[in-house]
Amino acid sequence: MIILVLIGFFIPNIQSKTPEINDKLNFKLNDYNPIYNGSTNSKNKSLYLAFDEGYENGYTDQILDVLKEKNVKAIFFVTSHYVCYSPDTVKRMVAEVHVVANHTKHHYSMPSITYSPDVFNKELRDVEDKFKELTGKDIPKFFRPPMGKYSEQSLAMTKDRLSNVF
């Protein structure tokens, strides 16, 4: 199964409650394997720490230090640029058993490039290739669309691309 980690399809609130899902879509989001919230079992509370694009301001090693100290795991969505220019940090993420996942080559809005399957697929493939070259491993099957932007077509193309890769 491919898991699409989405941000931007939920409705935030200021009451410290679990955000509600946006049900105003004209398609079934569940057809694309989204995750936005884990188990809601009151006995087993969980928090998902996910970092993308914003962590590229030079704080990643400090973030990793705190995660290691507290024995907490996170998921880092990386671009090709980050894999190339911070290879030691990406290797550290992997060595410390964090999930490193795909956030595209150029950080384009994915709906804006659905006109070309080649361009669209290259955005995902480039990160896959660079991660494999660096670590010798396949990148985990998680993806977060840049800027949280998606369309039904971009979700379908992502699911198809990732399903055919692994």
State residue 84's pLDDT score.
95
State residue 115's pLDDT score.
97
**pTM of this prediction?**
0.83
Query: In the predicted model, is pLDDT for residue 129 greater than 60?
Result: yes
Tokens 């660096």 -> residue: 134
**Which SS3 state, helix, strand or coil, does residue 12 take?**
coil
State residue 2's pLDDT score.
43
Q: Confidence band (pLDDT; 50, 70, 90) for 68?
A: very high
48-165 CATH choice from 3.20.20.370, 3.40.50.300, 3.30.70.3290, 3.30.70.1290:
3.20.20.370
**Hey, what are 160's tokens?**
């198809």
Q: Could you tell me the residue ranges of all domains in the chain?
A: 48-165
Query: In the predicted model, is pLDDT for residue 1 greater than 50?
Result: no
Q: Confidence band (pLDDT; 50, 70, 90) for 166?
A: very low
pLDDT digits (tens, 9 = 90+) for 25-64: 788 777 877 766 555 566 666 677 788 865 567 889 999 9
Kindly give the residue spans of alpha helices, DSSP state H, lying in 29-151. Answer: 60-69, 80-85, 87-95, 117-135
pLDDT digits (tens, 9 = 90+) for 76-121: 999 999 999 999 999 999 999 999 999 999 999 999 999 999 999 9
34 by Cβ neighbours in 10 Å (0-12 / 13-18 / 19+) ranks as middle
State residue 12's pLDDT score.
60
Tally of residues, the chain: 166
Yes or no: say if 38 and 55 are a contact pair by the CB < 8 Å rule: no
Tokens 């509600």 -> residue: 20
Burial of 66-85, coded b for 16+ CB within 10 Å and e otherwise, reads: ebeeeeeebbbbbbbbbbee
